[in-house]
Amino acid sequence: MKINPEENSFLSKWNKYEVARYVPALSRVIRDKDGENPLFVNQDDIPSYASKNNNVGIYTSVFAYDTEDITKATRFGPLYFDIDSDDLNSALRECIALYKYLCALMPKESIVVYFTGKKGFHIECEPVTLGINPSNSLPKVFRFIAASIKESLGLVNLDFSVYDLRRMWRLPGSKHQETNLYKTQLNPNGSDDFVNWSSEHIVDYAKQLRPVEVPAQSFNYKANEWYRECSYKLEEESKRKDDPLEYFNKYGSKAFKDLNKTEKVFDPKTLMTKCSAIPRLYRQAKETGYLEHEARLFLCSILTYTEDSIKFLHEILSQCHDYNFEKSSAHINDWIKRRQMGIGGRPYTCERANSAGVGCGDCSLEHKNKWVRIGDRYVETQEKNSPSPVRFAYRSVKKENE
């Protein structure tokens, strides 16, 4: 996994890996421990760990962690695939088919192909290029993508047991304990010569230790769009749809509101006057050139309802040293799409913003009844809405054609 800490200080926090090794006396792989807890090794120290254990039968977690507390950690890592078969020729054919399929979706330099050293292949798609965000739901998303591709390509050798939260992965450059072959990268720096190799040539190639060469990665809008669409499809399939009548009976109603009678108009003056958090973050971006990840999410949740508010959001983000219009637009589009689909993208409440350290810290807004959309109308429930700064960001005006 290739991350440039100087370009992405947020993702650079994900640098801790669980480690495991093959123990000949036990004839199995064991996870190393630090007392009763899993042993974590920083990314830069993994070569030392491998060397200490003779570089034979070495494993690390597929995912990097942001903390050594496994119960609180968040996962981050590449989209990955494991192709295994007792028939190496069959595994190779499917590896090449999958590789070519992925090359049509993302830059080939972002796809890393390995021979595992025994009977299969690993393919990793770099998370920076795909715009993958840290999340403990990544195994679920990756499994869904793998299942979709399996159906499209008619693959039979994809291993679906690898999609769990603590999956261990043979370390590239380490020697397989049974075959004495190395886990070897087949496409250094994006080369695709391996698609013309025979399985015999690959086995011979893996007899020598070879460097892992992955070029610097950058966000790719096309690849991110494909990845986001896959995640939307997963959310749509798993989303539980409430029955409108059941919901109405559960919450009751005092009135109905028709939709489409008004439209939102961005009101930056009121927002900047009423919510001190927004101007504070604007000044921080301008004066320091930096906004923490949570602050960006908070701003995105408030400023993505109209073209004018999105333009204002870009104005704030563009003050940051790491601003990238294409990447920011992708994240904004993702937020809007999830809100439209009802699978996220909701505005931060004042409570959430304050707990994350990005709010005003002193909220006294009135709690109002929540309105829920049913068909072409809104129903007012007796459930209270948590107040949000979004209340100040927009005003409603009657449409001209109404």
pLDDT (average), residues 151-170: 96
Predicted pLDDT at 241: 43
The SS3 of residue 196 is: helix
**pLDDT at 16 > cutoff 50:** yes
Predicted pLDDT at 4: 76
Predicted pLDDT at 372: 61
pLDDT (average), residues 360-373: 66
Could you give the C-alpha distances from 265 to 301, 309, 389, in angstroms and in order?
Answer: 16, 9, 15
**Any idea which residue has 């679920």 for tokens?**
140
pLDDT (average), residues 303-329: 93
The CA R_g of the chain, rounded to the nearest whole Å, is 25
* Residue 177, C-beta contacts closer than 8 angstroms, at least 6 positions apart: 22, 24, 56, 57
pLDDT (average), residues 81-98: 97
Q: Could you tell me the pLDDT band of residue 344, with boundaries at 50, 70 and 90?
A: confident
What's the pLDDT tens digit per position in 173-223?
A: 999 999 999 999 999 999 999 999 999 999 999 999 999 999 999 999 999
Distance of alpha carbon 168 from alpha carbon 20, whole angstroms: 8
The two tokens of residue 193 are 């010569």
**pLDDT at 343 > cutoff 90:** no
What's the pLDDT tens digit per position in 382-402?
A: 666 678 889 899 988 766 554
Predicted pLDDT at 399: 60
**pLDDT at 253 > cutoff 70:** no
DSSP of 98-127? HHHHHHTTS-GGGEEEEE-SSSEEEEEE-H
Q: Could you tell me the pLDDT band of residue 342, with boundaries at 50, 70 and 90?
A: confident
More confident residue, 370 or 235: 235
Q: Could you tell me the pLDDT band of residue 239, with boundaries at 50, 70 and 90?
A: low
Provide the b/e sequence for 111-121 (b: ≥16 CB within 10 Å): bbbbbbbbbbb
Predicted pLDDT at 236: 79
* Residue 259, C-beta contacts closer than 8 angstroms, at least 6 positions apart: 373, 376, 377, 378
Strand partners, 84: 120
Backbone angles phi, psi at 357, to 5 degrees: 80, 15
DSSP of 253-320? -S-EEESSSEEEEE-HHHHHHH-THHHHHHHHHHHHS---HHHHHHHHHHS-SSHHHHHHHHHHHTTS
What's the pLDDT tens digit per position in 216-229?
A: 999 999 999 999 99
Could you give the C-alpha distances from 83 to 269, 303, 382, in angstroms and in order?
Answer: 56, 43, 53
Q: Could you tell me the pLDDT band of residue 254, with boundaries at 50, 70 and 90?
A: very low
pLDDT (average), residues 271-288: 94
pLDDT (average), residues 123-127: 97
pLDDT (average), residues 257-280: 81
**pLDDT at 116 > cutoff 50:** yes
End-to-end CA distance of the chain: 54
Distance of alpha carbon 335 from alpha carbon 130, whole angstroms: 16
Query: Residue 126: how many CB atoms within 10 A of its CB?
Result: 26
What's the pLDDT tens digit per position in 139-156?
A: 999 999 999 999 999 999
DSSP 182: B
pLDDT (average), residues 26-49: 95
Predicted pLDDT at 361: 78
* Residue 40, C-beta contacts closer than 8 angstroms, at least 6 positions apart: 16, 17, 18, 19, 34, 65, 68
Predicted pLDDT at 375: 59
DSSP 83: E
Smallest CA-to-CA distance from 299 within 363, 228, 359, 219 is with 359
Q: Could you tell me the pLDDT band of residue 136, with boundaries at 50, 70 and 90?
A: very high
Predicted pLDDT at 369: 63
Q: Write the burial class of residue 225 (CB in 10 Å: 0-12 exposed, 13-18 middle, 19+ buried).
A: middle
pLDDT (average), residues 372-385: 63
